Amino acid sequence: AVEDFAPQVILLDVSMPQMNGYEVCRKLKANPSTAHIIVMFVSARGTVEERMEGYAVGAEDYIVKPFGHDELKSKLKILNQVLIEKESLEQQVEDATSTAFNAMANSSEMGQIVNYIEKIGMINNTKALGEALVHCLKSFDLQSNVEFRANLDAPEHFTLNGPCSPIVIELFDMLKHKGRLHEFSHRILVNYELISLLILNMPDHDPDKHGRIRDHVCFIVSVTEQQLRAIMTRAALELQQTKLNDAITMINGKFHGLIELLNENRKSNEAVFKRLQEELEDRIPSMGLDEDQEVFIYQKVDQTIQNSVAREESVKGVKAAFHEIEQDLSTLLKK
């Protein structure tokens, strides 16, 4: 069979006893295994009709008998150049096709990544973020295990099929500080400060796809870690705000208690002075004091009352300051 010899060029005589050269050429070109072989017809006649027939069945050249060695050599040299250019074009077509398919695949994959980035921007808790990550990787036909270390004392683990196995968790712990990327067989492990990711089924039959997916995975983990940090920052700020609100509420309560105590003291002082005044008015006339002594006592009492009134004015200033602080604290609570 011709396939066994795998020739690059075949010389065919047009006139053969059982099957003419045209029919042989037609069969060669119809067979995918031999269609690439260059055919040159050899004939005693070289009419236009015969040449057209030869080209019609797929021949690349035609030589008329008798022919010299140099003529045959020249034609074979030309055919060899045609063969080289044909192979070069076929390789270019193959490369261009491969590049086009890779570009289309990459474009589709980048679209998935963009959708993922838009989606996680709306997520505000670590559980939902971890689930979104493993589902994103599933869209690339990747089986994954993920570890989040937002809380170092209690790392979170995510898979599509139940909990992570103990051996995977141990692997995360052993390798989390051992470099960004580890590749072994058709698995890769990607480490970032807060996230570790293990891919179990990287495409190993296609080197281009393997490299492309590896780059995608590293980028996906990177943007996921940024969102994880944003979630952690938001949670820390919310906790700080809660503590601040609690502190403001406590201080506000103490201010109100202090003002109530001042008011009670004022009322108590007023009652004491009133009773003292009433008692003096009742007792002094019967005590047998001369006028100077009575005046002295009344002046001392009046001076004491005036001092108390002055202190009450100071208390009003303190109350006003407390009121301003209370307003400032209320403003903080509303932010």
Per-residue pLDDT band for 324 (boundaries 50, 70, 90) equals confident
- Mean pLDDT for all residues in the chain: 82
**Residue 104 CA: distances (Å) to CA of 98, 99, 209, 289:** 10, 9, 12, 116
The residue with greater pLDDT, 329 or 128, is 128
Per-residue pLDDT band for 221 (boundaries 50, 70, 90) equals very high
pLDDT recorded at residue 271: 81
pLDDT in tens, 263-293: 787 788 778 777 877 777 777 777 777 778 8
- Clarify whether residues 225 and 129 are in a common domain: yes
- Clarify whether residues 125 and 249 are in a common domain: no
pLDDT recorded at residue 126: 93
**189 C-beta neighbours (distance < 10 Å), count:** 21
pLDDT recorded at residue 333: 62
Of 60, 77, 101, the position where a domain reaches its end is 101
- Clarify whether residues 112 and 221 are in a common domain: yes
Per-residue pLDDT band for 132 (boundaries 50, 70, 90) equals very high
The tally of domains found in the chain comes to 3
Which residues, other chains included, contact 297 with Cβ-Cβ below 8 Å and sequence gap of 6+? 280, 284, 289
Burial class (CB in 10 A: 0-12, 13-18, 19+), 145: buried
Of 235, 266, 297, the position where a domain reaches its end is 235
Distance CA 209, CA 136 (A): 17
- Clarify whether residues 110 and 230 are in a common domain: yes
pLDDT recorded at residue 192: 93
pLDDT in tens, 25-56: 999 989 888 888 888 888 887 778 888 888 88
pLDDT recorded at residue 20: 87
Residue 38: give the domain boundaries. Answer: 2-101
Closest to 31 measured CA to CA, from 62, 67, 2: 2
- Clarify whether residues 125 and 161 are in a common domain: yes
Please state the rounded mean pLDDT for residues 153-163.
86
pLDDT in tens, 237-254: 888 888 888 887 887 787
Per-residue pLDDT band for 335 (boundaries 50, 70, 90) equals low
- Clarify whether residues 173 and 255 are in a common domain: no
95-104, 196-205, 265-274, 297-306: the lowest-pLDDT one: 95-104
- The sign of the dihedral angle between the CA atoms of 32, 36, 41, 47 is positive
Inform me whether the pLDDT recorded for 138 exceeds 70.
yes
Per-residue pLDDT band for 158 (boundaries 50, 70, 90) equals very high
The residue with greater pLDDT, 106 or 70, is 70
Domain of 80, CATH number, reads 3.40.50.2300
- Clarify whether residues 296 and 185 are in a common domain: no
